[in-house]
Structure formats: C-alpha cells, structure tokens
A and B are shown apart, each in its own frame.
Chain A
Amino acid sequence: MNILDLSNHLQTYLVIGAVLFGIGFYGLLQRQTLIGMLISAELILSGASVNFMAFNRFLAPDPTVGQIFTLFIMAIAAAEAAIALSIVLAVYRNYKTIDAMEITDLKG
C-alpha cells in the first residue's frame, strides 16, 4: 500500500476514528475538570462520526445515510455542549470549583 494512496482505503479512516476514540477515552478518565471531560467527550463523538462517514463512503448502498447520521450527531453534540456548559456554570456558581474530585456533596 502506497503511503500517498492512503485516502482511498477504508482502513485508514477506521484507524484514525479508533485513535480519536482512544485519545478521547483517555482524556475522559484523566481529566479533573468538568470542561476537560466535555472536550474529551467531543473527541469520542468525532471518532464515531469519522467511522460513520468512512462506512458511508466505501460500503453503504445509500451514500446519504451516513452523512445525515453525522449531521444529526453534530446537532446532538451541540445541544449536549450547551446543556453541559450551563450545568458547569451552575456548578461553579454553587461550589466555586469545577474540579470533579471536589464536588462531593452526595458522596457517602
């Protein structure tokens, strides 16, 4: 496989989607602040979207379905970001911190 011909292979896109998912998962576990976790969640969603688009381009019988699914993922991600950030701001107003390890009012 020629390295300049990578964009014509399904596996390339599957690999970059899996890499995005893995990095996002690592960030989700490792981050301490709520905003950092949200950023990592966006990376995970991007990995899934890349997979959908790759299968749509190479395998799907109807090549509009994957694009439409990706557009819906984007809309849901935008809604999720808006809601999550207003929750973060509400948490910050009540606790004066967005560190996930310090918000422990319900901890047994």
Chain B
Amino acid sequence: MHPVINSAEGLAGVVFLVTLLTTAAGALIATTAVRTIRAVAGLALCFIGVAGIYYFLQSPFVALMEMLIYVGAVCVVLVFAVMLAEPHPEKQVGNINPLGGPLGLGVGALLAWALIALGRQTVWTAAPTRLNDGSMPELGHALLTTYSMVFELVSVVLLVAIIGALVLGRAGRSKA
C-alpha cells in the first residue's frame, strides 16, 4: 500500500507523523527542561501524543482515558506539587549527580537502541484468528466478566492510595 499525500490515507499518515513528533518532543522537554513547571508542560504534550498513538492503534476509549487520567489528573497534581514544593526553581547547585550528563545519556541511548534493535529483528507472528474486534462494548464486557476481580482490586488500590495520600499529607501538620 502506497498512499499519496492528497488522499485520506496520506493525510492520516501525516497526522500520525505529527503525533510521533509531538510524543518525542514532549518527552525531551519533560526530561531536559530546567524549570520543573516546563517539564510538566512537556509531559502533558507527550501524553497528548501518546493518546494520539492509542487512537491510531484503534483504541479510542484508551486514548480518551489517557487524556482524562494523565493530562487531566496526573499533570494537574504535578502542577500542584510544583506550586507547593518548588522553592528555588532556577537553583543549580554544585553537587551534580554523578549519573547525570553523558553517562546517563549513554545508558538511556543504549537501552533504547537495544530495544529498537530487538523489536526490529524479531519476526513477529500474528495470531491466526481474533476472538473479537476489541471495540468498546467488547472491552466493557471483558472488564466486567473475565477481569472483574482485577477491576475490583484496582478500585481497592486506588482507595488505599487516596487514604494513604491523605494520611501522609496530614502528618506533621499542627492540629489547629
């Protein structure tokens, strides 16, 4: 299949390229920005790109959840943390992390290169038949039948996390 640029498939390909670029650029901003608030903004950009990737993977529901949970909740919580606990935004102190800089860059690049090489060299064989089409009704059905136990356990985990966050945030404060 060789789509041309002025067809629907070609346009979708251009949008996909933009999505990939958004993801990579957001991730780079999130790890290299000096100010933490800019890193959070880069993280939000990266998550928007990841949501687009999920959409191209035929999972609009997971893309929507990515926007809701990551962009809408996690990034906002991070912004709150930055507001509450970022005393000196542009302070660059002398005690430099020994793993930062070239060594960290080398380790990260080596890991990414190894994973990419592994993914490209392996011969992936698709399953001969698919049980369903992976649409949203199938997803909800599986979530409430086959995986209902895990679903409940995740709810308990979230409840414990909320209570734990409240307890941790409460501890150390005066009783006033």
Give A residues with C-beta under 8 Å from B.
2-8, 10-27, 29-33, 35-36, 38-40, 42-43, 46, 49-50, 53-54, 56-65, 67-68, 70-72, 74-83, 85-90, 92-94, 96-102
Contacts and interface: CB of A to CB of B under 8 A. Distances in A.
Contact of B74 (A13, A23, A67, A77): A77
13 contacts: A2-B13, A14-B115, A16-B24, A20-B27, A32-B100, A59-B125, A64-B139, A77-B69, A85-B81, A86-B169, A89-B81, A89-B168, A92-B85
A4 B39 contact: no
A13 B73 CA distance: 25
B85 A39 contact: no
Nearest to B36: A35
Given A46-B46, A58-B124, A71-B65, A39 B30 contact: yes
Nearest to A6: B16
B3 A83 contact: no
Given A50-B50, A56-B57, A86-B165, A43 B31 contact: yes
Contacts of B20: 6, 12, 16
Q: Which of A5, A50, A77 has the most CB of B within 10 A?
A: A5
A42 B70 contact: yes
Given A7-B16, A62-B131, A75-B158, A68 B142 contact: yes
Nearest 10 interchain pairs by C-beta: A22-B112, A63-B134, A4-B13, A26-B108, A27-B31, A14-B119, A29-B104, A79-B161, A18-B115, A61-B127
Interface of B: 1-5, 9-10, 12-14, 16-17, 20, 23-24, 27-28, 30-32, 36, 39-40, 43, 46-47, 50, 53-54, 56-59, 61-62, 65-66, 69-70, 73-74, 77-78, 80-82, 84-87, 93, 95, 97, 99-101, 103-105, 107-109, 111-113, 115-116, 119-120, 124-127, 129-134, 138-139, 142-143, 147, 150, 154, 157-158, 160-162, 164-166, 168-169, 171-172
B101 to A, nearest CB: 7
A8 B1 contact: yes
Nearest to A74: B69
Contacts, number: 282
Identify whether the interface residues of B are mostly helix, strand, loop, or mixed. Answer: helix
Contact of B65 (A4, A74, A96, A98): A74
A97 B93 CA distance: 12
Nearest to A94: B172
